Amino acid sequence: MLSICAVPARAESPGEQPRPFESFEGVPGEWTEILNGYVYDPKTYGPRLIAIERQSGGSLPPAFRMATADAYLRSGNRRAAERIFEQGLTQNLGYPWEDFANLGMGTIRLVSGDEGGAQVFFGRLTESQEGSSRALGSLGMGAALSAGGRFAEAQEAFSATAATTTVDEEVRQAGRFGNAMALYGAGDFEAAARAFDEIAKIDPGSPIARDAAYAAARARIALGDREGSAAALRELADGCDPETKTGRAPRALRNLDARAMGRNWLHNYRTTGWGALSGKGSSMYSIDGCALARSTLRALERNDATLTAVQPVSAAAADAHPAAPGPAPAKLPAPAAPTPALAPPRSGWSPALWALAAIAGLVVLWRLVAR
């Protein structure tokens, strides 16, 4: 494999985007420019990065290969991404690439519906010597446990992420939001509402605060408090930018349906470059609390009965008591067969939502590397 001699590159002028990578020994300069372009514009540069990977025969430095795996993930080619991650794990690349590969493999297994396999890879991260990797591993583990309906264990994992001081605030917020969503998914709407309230207080006016304020009100609607929830939604809507026009939000998204949230986040992820996330990462995962508040208020005014039709999934998982995952095997698990589409999820809780939490980890880890 080519040796790496990449160094962070600064923009030459204030208006120019920073170039995370300057040069790699033995790599054509134009290829490095494509890698730097991918950081900001994955839609344009992703296909070019994939073409370079094919042309090189897989002999590029880890930065190229992991970015190409991400490009494959964005394009929906999970098997191609998995192949690169598997190869990386067999090459003992060390930090951060080995952690990146484990996170990627866990994400792919999760989005493929293999929750046990996802726990193996995320579990490796929770034992990393790097605090940031442990936090991301716990985030992914919480995602995998939630996808399996094991919400009490998921809350412990999410709480571990939220309590980590060696990662950015947005990662801790992801842990807090995952914890609240686990409570919501289990049908503990009262506890979920309180958890969302606490999130909304941390950074008032931010996208995640508006989303959390909406989610708290939605949980209280499920509890039957339509009047109090309507007042909270009006307060939220009044604080939104009146110039921002919003259409009718989908009913599934108003109900915090996991599949609808997953589709929304996946769309944002596929069209947002890593470089564009710095300083505003929470907006990528926003479900637009302002639009949801306005749309839900209209639904309350017309007495829409479906607003209370939220089905917790804890009952579906209550009869199953899967054993905790054992230690990671010495050899990599056999790759799962490629699946063109996810099987219908149990109840309304989709692995796609929690896979996006893991993908959030990929974004954060890449940004740590780029620094």
- Contact between residue 71 and residue 84 where contact means Cβ atoms under 8 Å apart: no
DSSP track, 148-170? TT-HHHHHHHHHHHHT-SSS-HH
Cα separation, 313 vs 56, whole angstroms? 47
- The letter for the amino acid at 211 is D
Q: Residue 120 — very low, low, confident or very high, per pLDDT cuts 50/70/90?
A: very high
In the three-class reduction of DSSP (H, G, I as helix; E, B as strand; rest coil), residue 9 is classed as strand
Task: Please give the pLDDT value at position 183.
Answer: 92
In the three-class reduction of DSSP (H, G, I as helix; E, B as strand; rest coil), residue 23 is classed as coil
Task: Please give the pLDDT value at position 245.
Answer: 61
State the average pLDDT over residues 19-31: 89
Half-sphere exposure of 183 (CA within 13 A, CB side): 23
Higher pLDDT: 33 or 241? It is: 33
Cα separation, 144 vs 281, whole angstroms? 22
Q: Residue 232 — very low, low, confident or very high, per pLDDT cuts 50/70/90?
A: very high
Task: Please give the pLDDT value at position 345.
Answer: 29
Kindly report whether the peptide bond that precedes residue 338 is cis, defined as omega within 30 degrees of 0.
no
* Max avg pLDDT among 267-271, 316-320, 343-347: 267-271
Residue 4 pLDDT exceeds 70: no
State the average pLDDT over residues 356-369: 46
Higher pLDDT: 6 or 34? It is: 34
Cα separation, 131 vs 164, whole angstroms? 7
Cα separation, 109 vs 288, whole angstroms? 28
Cα separation, 170 vs 191, whole angstroms? 22
Residue 238 pLDDT exceeds 90: yes
The overall pTM is greater than 0.85: no
Half-sphere exposure of 30 (CA within 13 A, CB side): 3
Q: Which residues pair with 19 in a beta bridge?
A: 9
Cα separation, 162 vs 356, whole angstroms? 17
Question: What average pLDDT does the chain have?
Answer: 76
Tell me the pLDDT tens digit for each residue of 267-296. 666 666 665 554 444 456 678 899 999 999
State the average pLDDT over residues 60-83: 91
Lowest mean pLDDT among 77-86, 165-174, 206-215, 362-371: 362-371
